[in-house]
């Protein structure tokens, strides 16, 4: 199992709304994530909107993203959520992840 850490930046003026939407992630989106190998997925946000994400997947970030690209619900979710991020207009946040290198792990 590969552990993935990534970062994104949520717009400060949209942070509260972003958090609200993540209290009720669409069930079909959750199922698509599970079906494409996203496990133990967590998001953490700093006060300035810096977002740290963590999940475990069988292969790699790229393989996990490729699996989600084929999910219709993912296209809807990404279009819905992209205005919340500091990313280029029209971009989807799931393609803008800054993957972090794992430098330590304690089981």
Known active-site residue 22: yes
Determine which one of 21, 22, 39, 92 is catalytic.
22
Starting at the earlier edge strand, list the strands of the sheet with 50-57.
Answer: 39-45, 50-57, 2-9, 98-100
Q: Which domains does the chain have, with CATH numbers?
A: 2-100 (3.30.70.100)
Q: Give the pLDDT confidence score for residue 27 in this predicted structure.
A: 98
Q: Residue 90: pLDDT above 90?
A: no
pTM of the complete model: 0.92
Q: Give the pLDDT confidence score for residue 70 in this predicted structure.
A: 92
What's the mean pLDDT when you consider all of the chain?
96
Q: Give the pLDDT confidence score for residue 89 in this predicted structure.
A: 85
Tell the burial category of 21 from Cβ atoms under 10 Å away from its Cβ (0-12, 13-18, 19+): middle
pLDDT in tens, 70-83: 999 999 999 999 99
Token couple for 25: 């992630």
Separation CA 5–CA 46 (nearest Å): 15
Number of Cβ within 10 Å of residue 94's Cβ equals 19
pLDDT confidence bin for 36, thresholds 50/70/90: very high
């Amino acid at each position: 199992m590969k552990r993935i850490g990534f970062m994104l930046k949520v717009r400060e003026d949209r942070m509260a709304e972003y958090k609200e939407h993540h209290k009720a992630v669409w069930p079909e989106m959750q199922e698509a994530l599970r079906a494409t190998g996203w496990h133990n997925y967590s998001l953490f946000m700093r006060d300035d909107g810096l977002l740290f994400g963590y999940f475990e997947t069988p292969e790699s970030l790229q393989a996990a993203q490729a699996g989600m690209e084929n999910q219709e619900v993912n296209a809807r979710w990404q279009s819905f959520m992209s205005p919340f991020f500091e990313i280029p207009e029209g971009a989807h946040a799931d393609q803008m992840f800054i993957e972090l290198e794992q430098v330590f792990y304690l089981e």
